[in-house]
Amino acid sequence: MASITETIRNEVKETVYSFFADECEVDIAQINDNTSIINDLDGDSLMFLELIEIFKKKYNLDIELKVIGKYAVKHPVATIGQLIEMQLLIIEHENRLLDLEQ
Amino acid sequence: MSDNRYAFIFPAFTSDYTDHPGRDIPGFDVRFNEFLIKAAGYTDPELAAFHFLENSFLDHELRTQYITFSYSCALSLLLRKAQLYPAITAGYSMGIYAALFDAGSVSFETGLELIKLAYQSLHASLNNPFGMGTLIGLNERDIQQIIEQASLRIEITNQNASHSFVVSGYRDDMQRLMELAKEEGALHSRSLSVTIPYHSRYLEEGAMNFAGRISDLEISAPQTHVISLIDQISLTTPEIIRTELVRNLFHPLNWYATMEVMRAQYVTQFIECGPSQALAKNARFVDGIRFFPLSAMLP
């Protein structure tokens, strides 16, 4: 279990913003925490999956995708800010993410 | 043949023409309309009324295949005109007909005939509602386990990436699979708007009928290296191609493995020759492969 430092929080935010600016071909200045991933950026689940893979490599995470999927069913992500919060939880709890439900 | 490392990839069909790449390519409209008019005269007069936004026939399974084939053939000619030649060509699913056109194995008319005969043979052999779907986020073992535990009449019929799969089977069971997959942790599940369970064993009878009907069609040896999505062999002779055309209908594909094989042969630069960029999106999960936008290749 990793503790989320200010450095990690900033890295995650920066990575998510840059990723969507690049993938969706929009100016990064147009993205904020309230930006809707689907409605404003035309994002999709493959992008979500790719982002998870990026963080898995970057932080050497031990987490199965289906654990994230089960968590996401109960905690759907709609905005960039919500996505960042979920990524931080994934980094912090890895395969124990579902323990948060208990 | 060029010594470049490009792979030309021909998709099956699209579900959206909103950002189709041809609109930015000089000369595309003329070529595409020539093929479309020819296809309308040869197969279905309604095709002449096609319009990308206002009359796209996206809910018509067969017309969509004719249109995608015409679209891909137009791009193939433009790529050749620009002196671009592939090291390898691949046809994704029903994109095999356009890949064979690009390789010089079949004429445009023969490609249309193959599409028509495949659709007719398969459709006539089915007496239950069937469908297809996509699942993202589970691995093959997880999906197989759900299918077996719930006794679903569904098969995994393609792998697009390590956690991205296509499934085919009975429509009633498809809906159930989508629900169970969500419960199991799939990040995304979606039924596709097709009525034929492509690449599944349910099509074996139809495929055998198709085999008998294509025996007289003219098929030549390809001028470029065409790869099978079933077992990644090279389709080098008319006999091998005929066999591939038949088994392509009822055997599972593995697009992920095909990309890996191409990469192992140092083919890392892909061009998706169709109306969408869906395959390019999937390729983000294969390290070392890069899809080039058509507008960059055909400025």
**What's the complex ipTM?**
0.82
For residue B43, the distance in angstroms to the closest alpha carbon of chain A comes to: 36
Per-residue pLDDT of B106-126, as tens digits, reads: 999 999 999 999 999 999 999
Side chain identity at B250, as an amino acid letter? F
Residue B211 to residue B233: CA distance in whole angstroms: 20
Query: Does residue B171 belong to the interface with chain A, where contact is any CB pair within 8 Å?
Result: no
Q: Judge whether residue B288 has pLDDT over 90.
A: no
- pLDDT for B28 equals 95
Residues of A in contact with B19 (CB under 8 A): none
For residue A6, the distance in angstroms to the closest alpha carbon of chain B comes to: 28
Per-residue pLDDT of A12-55, as tens digits, reads: 999 999 999 998 889 999 999 999 999 999 888 888 888 999 99
pTM listed for this prediction: 0.91
Residues of A in contact with B182 (CB under 8 A): 69, 73
Q: Under a CB-based contact definition with an 8 Å cutoff, are residues B77 and B210 in contact?
A: no
Query: Does residue A14 belong to the interface with chain B, where contact is any CB pair within 8 Å?
Result: no
Write a three-state SS string for chain A.
Answer: CCCCCHHHHHHHHHHHHHHHHHHCCCCHHHCCCCCECCCCCCCCHHHHHHHHHHHHHHCCCCCCHHHHHHHHHHCCCCEHHHHHHHHHHHHHHHHHHHHHHC
- Report DSSP letters for B103-137, one per residue: TTSS-HHHHHHHHHHHHHHHHHH--S-EEEEEEES
Q: Give the β-pairing of B88-91 and B226-227.
A: parallel
Q: Judge whether residue B2 has pLDDT over 60.
A: no
Q: Judge whether residue B138 has pLDDT over 90.
A: yes
Q: Which of A45, A40, A32, A31 is nearest to A76 (CA)?
A: A45
* Span(s) in chain B for CATH 3.30.70.250: 130-192
Average pLDDT over residues A60-75: 92
Provide the angle, in degrees to the nearest 10, between the axes of the packed helices A65-74 and B171-184: 90
* Span(s) in chain B for CATH 3.40.366.10: 6-125+201-297
- pLDDT for B297 equals 81
Residues of A in contact with B183 (CB under 8 A): 70, 73
B188 forms beta bridges with B136
Residue A1: pLDDT band (50, 70, 90) is low
- pLDDT for B47 equals 97
Q: Judge whether residue B61 has pLDDT over 70.
A: yes
Residue B279: pLDDT band (50, 70, 90) is confident
Of A44, A48, A66, the CB nearest to B184: A66
Other C-beta atoms lying within 10 Å of the C-beta of residue A39: 10
The answer to whether the CB atoms of B163 and A49 lie below 8 A apart is: yes
Residue B4: pLDDT band (50, 70, 90) is low
Residue B8 to residue B50: CA distance in whole angstroms: 26
Q: Determine which of B165, B187, B255, B279 to mutate to test the interface with A (most A C-beta atoms within 10 Å).
A: B187
Long-range contacts of B54-63 (CB under 8 A, 24+ apart): B56/B17, B58/B14, B58/B15, B58/B16, B58/B17, B58/B193, B59/B193, B61/B119, B61/B193, B61/B194, B61/B195, B61/B196, B62/B115, B62/B116, B62/B119
Domain B130-192: homologous superfamily in CATH: Malonyl-CoA ACP transacylase, ACP-binding (3.30.70.250)
What's the CATH code, domain B6-125+201-297? 3.40.366.10
